[in-house]
Amino acid sequence: MTFEDSAEATEATAPDAIADGDRGCLRWVLAVPLLILHLIAALSCYAALITVPSGSWDDDAYLGIELACELTLAASALAALITVLPSARRVMGPWWLAPPLALGTVAAVRWSLMGA
């Protein structure tokens, strides 16, 4: 391998190294808001699950459950929307869709069974 060959090899790998560095930065830029949205969705889903109305007359508890479910669904929908963006799909793994789908499903089921 000559000096010219090593220089060509270095030039060929330099853009890939820069692109990998940009991907790592983009991962962090997307991961922080996604983690915050997942945390908001998880806490509001937990609140919806632990809230138990005292009776059929307890409108405040039913309203709290409904609002917690709505907040869970909104945060999950926003997180899923961010995750399916083309720029996010290039750098984020598909497992980032699991939390919003799971939490959204739990919140929808809790909301639909609220009156039962």
Q: What is the pLDDT of residues 78-109, one digit of tens each?
A: 999 999 988 787 888 889 999 999 999 999 99
Spell out the residues 6+ positions from residue 22 whose beta carbon is closer than 8 angstroms to its own: none
State pLDDT tens for residues 13-55: 444 444 555 666 878 888 899 999 999 999 999 999 999 999 8
pTM of the predicted protein model: 0.77
3-state per-residue secondary structure call for the chain: CCHHHHHHHHHHHHHHHHHHHHHHHHHHHHHHHHHHHHHHHHHHHHHHHHCCCCCCCCHHHHHHHHHHHHHHHHHHHHHHHHHHCHHHHHHCCHHHHHHHHHHHHHHHHHHHCCCC
Q: How many residues does the chain have?
A: 116
